[in-house]
Amino acid sequence: MLGGKGRQLIMMGVFLLTAGFSFTNYYLIIVAMFFLYATFVSLPGFDSSINVEELHVRRIVGNTKVFKDDFLHVTVEIENSGSTKFDFIEIFDDYNTEVFRLVVGENSITTRIDPHQVLKYSYILQPIVRGEHDIGPITVTIKDRLGFNSEERVVPNSIQTMVIYPPYEMIKMIESLGAKRAVNMSYGVHKTRKVGSGNEFRGLRKYAFGDQYRLIDWRASMRAQKLIVREFEAESNLSVVVIVDASESMAGGAVDNTKFEYSILSAMLLAKIAMEQQDTVAMVLFNDEKGFKFLNSSKRKSHFFSILDFVANVTPQGKKLINWSIEQFTKRFQKRSLIFLITDLELKQENIAKSILKLRSYGHSVVVIAPFSPWFEVHEVELGATEKALAEAISEEMMQHVLLVKKEVQALSVPVISVGPDDMFEVIMREYQEAKRVGKAE
């Protein structure tokens, strides 16, 4: 096809041809015809003289799995396998500037290449967003010496998917904090006091949906005129399940500090501490029917890295099909567990209540951790008077919604706790420690 200079030459020829006929100037007409003739005659000659298939371009990366804020070394290799010399080639390796930061070098090159020659150039990227992201494609542009003609093609299979883990420093902090918390929790205590089974009587309490009928104390129920159940204790470890909302609404907040990012880091921290306590941990990520993911429970040390891989390539997207997702989870996992449901609650309260009711019907203890959207969206952001008023209005509306959800599920003995970026880690740890103290699940 015509290059930029070729198109300019045609435009000049058309202009001169129009001017020549308008002013009956044969000199302008001859010059215009020469420009047009030279351009169109050179095009077939250019096409016949090159063979793009003789150029082989490939990208070489050190690793397709890297940590956020680490450095990714990228090398692009160009090989001319034919006998034709290319006087002008341009290689451009594309990447998402919102995901990767160019640190050293350039992702494009303009050069010439002789027959049977191999050229390389390299550059360094820094991933700034966790998740699964693509590099590429590579575009090759070939031009003639004068730049009148060019041919462009996209290199086949030149898109590479990179898995970006959370920052290595964050993972080490989670490991360190998890070990420290686990030691503090284990001091003088070896097992959890599990409520609901065993032989040691603990006390009486009001009946909650999901309690076994055999635990009902009928005499106490008649005296109190409401159902009362007996609680017993036994020593056991917990089964912990973390269910994280990965729908589109969880993307709210700063690019690298969204509700979802905080939820993932909270889930990893909880998993690390629970496994240090010899508790089993399972994990679920959900959005729509295509986005449901389930990782079975384990307490092995290597399971933490399985969790790391499990969450690494997930980005918040799609609808929030919470009822369908909970149904899928209960089909796969029936063991009574302590479930942390992390969701921003941005759906109808009856849907949330239905999902929690489903979990409680299987005997699970449930804690809802709700990243409060306005707190994430205005975190560390300077707002003017108008923006502050709008933020307050949105906050009030969202808080009313959260209160309705709390009211809807309070009969199920399920806490709903709103959290922000500053207290999310602390809240989820506190709830786990309390569950560990009283033993809320097997």
Write out pLDDT tens, residues 303-349.
988 998 898 888 899 999 999 999 999 999 988 999 999 999 988 88
Q: Which residue has the higher pLDDT, 374 or 269?
A: 269
pLDDT above 80 (res 191): no
Phi, psi of 111 (to 5 degrees): -155, -175
Residues 246 and 294 in one domain: yes
357 and 392, same domain (yes or no): yes
Same domain, 303 and 174: yes
Structural domains of the chain, count: 4
Note whether 343 and 395 are same-domain residues.
Answer: yes
The pair of three-digit structure tokens given for residue 212, joined into one six-digit string: 């076994």
Q: Is the pLDDT of residue 414 over 70?
A: yes
Question: Do 58 and 34 belong together in one domain?
Answer: no
Write the DSSP string, 53-91: GGEEEEEEES-SEEETTS-EEEEEEEEE-SS--EEEEEE
Domain boundary among 165, 182, 211: 165
**Residues 45, 157: one domain?**
no
How would residue 187 be classed by pLDDT, with cut points 50, 70 and 90?
very low
pTM > 0.75: no
**Which structure tokens are listed for 76?**
């692009």
Domain that holds residue 18: 4-49
Residues 417, 307 share a domain: yes
What are the DSSP calls for 366-394, one per residue? Answer: EEEEEE-HHHHHSTT----HHHHHHHHHH
Are the CB atoms for 101 and 133 separated by under 8 Å?
no
Domain shared by 356 and 389, yes or no: yes
- Do both 283 and 253 map to the same domain? yes
The 10s digit of each residue's pLDDT in 158-180 is 999 998 888 777 777 776 665 55
Q: Is the domain of 159 the same as that of 293? A: no
Residues 275 and 402 in one domain: yes
CATH for 131: 2.60.40.10
pLDDT at 2: 46
Checking if the pLDDT of 412 tops 90, the result is: no
Is residue 139 located within the same domain as residue 22?
A: no
Amino acid at 261: E
CATH number for the domain that contains residue 355: 3.40.50.410
Residue pair 401/349 in contact by the 8 Å Cβ criterion: yes
The partner residues of 368 in beta bridges, in order of sequence, read: 341, 416
Pick the most confident of 197-206, 266-275, 284-293: 284-293
Q: What is the pLDDT of residue 349?
A: 82
- C-alpha count within 13 angstroms, C-beta hemisphere, residue 419: 29
